[in-house]
Amino acid sequence: MQTPALPPQGATVRARRWRRLRRAVALPLAALALSGCTVPSFGASPGATTSSRSVFHLWQWFSIGAVVIGGFVCLLILYAVLRYRRKGDNIPKQSQYHIPLEMAYVIVPLLIIVGLFAATLVVENKETANPATKVTINVNAFQWGWKFTYPGTNAFVYGQTTQEPEMVMPVGENVHFNLTSSDVIHGFYVEAFNFSRYALPGVKNEFTFYAEKTGTYFGQCTQLCGLYHALMWFRVKVVSQSQYATWIASFNNPADEAAAKAAAKTTYQQTSSVVPTKGSTTKFGR
Mean pLDDT across 161-186: 87
Do 117 and 178 reside in the same domain of the chain?
no
- Does residue 22 fall inside a structural domain? no
Do 121 and 170 reside in the same domain of the chain?
no
Query: How many structural domains are present in the chain?
Result: 2
For position 265, what pLDDT does the model report? 63
- What's the DSSP call for residue 43? T
For position 230, what pLDDT does the model report? 86
- DSSP-assigned beta bridge partners for residue 199: 186
Could you tell me which residues come within 8 angstroms of residue 49 by beta carbon, excluding any fewer than 6 positions away? 193, 195, 209, 210, 211, 212
pLDDT in tens, 149-169: 898 888 888 777 666 788 999
Neighbours of 145 (CB within 10 A): 27
For position 138, what pLDDT does the model report? 93
What's the whole-model pTM score? 0.68
Residue 204 has pLDDT above 60, yes or no: yes
Do 39 and 108 reside in the same domain of the chain?
yes
Do 124 and 139 reside in the same domain of the chain?
no
- Does residue 154 fall inside a structural domain? yes
Do 260 and 156 reside in the same domain of the chain?
yes
Distances (CA, A) of 26 to 22, 38, 64, 76, 77: 6, 19, 22, 20, 18
Do 235 and 167 reside in the same domain of the chain?
yes
The pLDDT confidence band at residue 279, using thresholds 50, 70 and 90, is very low
Please give the residue range of the domain that contains residue 45: 28-84+97-128
Do 185 and 52 reside in the same domain of the chain?
no
**Percentage of residues of the chain with pLDDT beyond 90:** 13
Do 42 and 144 reside in the same domain of the chain?
no
Give the domain CATH number at 233: 2.60.40.420
- Rounded to whole angstroms, the Cα distance separating 170 from 188 reads 19
Mean pLDDT across 45-67: 82
Do 77 and 141 reside in the same domain of the chain?
no
Residue 246 has pLDDT above 60, yes or no: yes
For position 132, what pLDDT does the model report? 78
Neighbours of 217 (CB within 10 A): 18
pLDDT in tens, 17-42: 777 777 777 777 776 666 656 666 66
Lowest mean pLDDT among 7-21, 93-107, 200-214, 267-281: 267-281
The pLDDT confidence band at residue 281, using thresholds 50, 70 and 90, is very low
Do 184 and 225 reside in the same domain of the chain?
yes
Do 163 and 108 reside in the same domain of the chain?
no
The pLDDT confidence band at residue 264, using thresholds 50, 70 and 90, is low
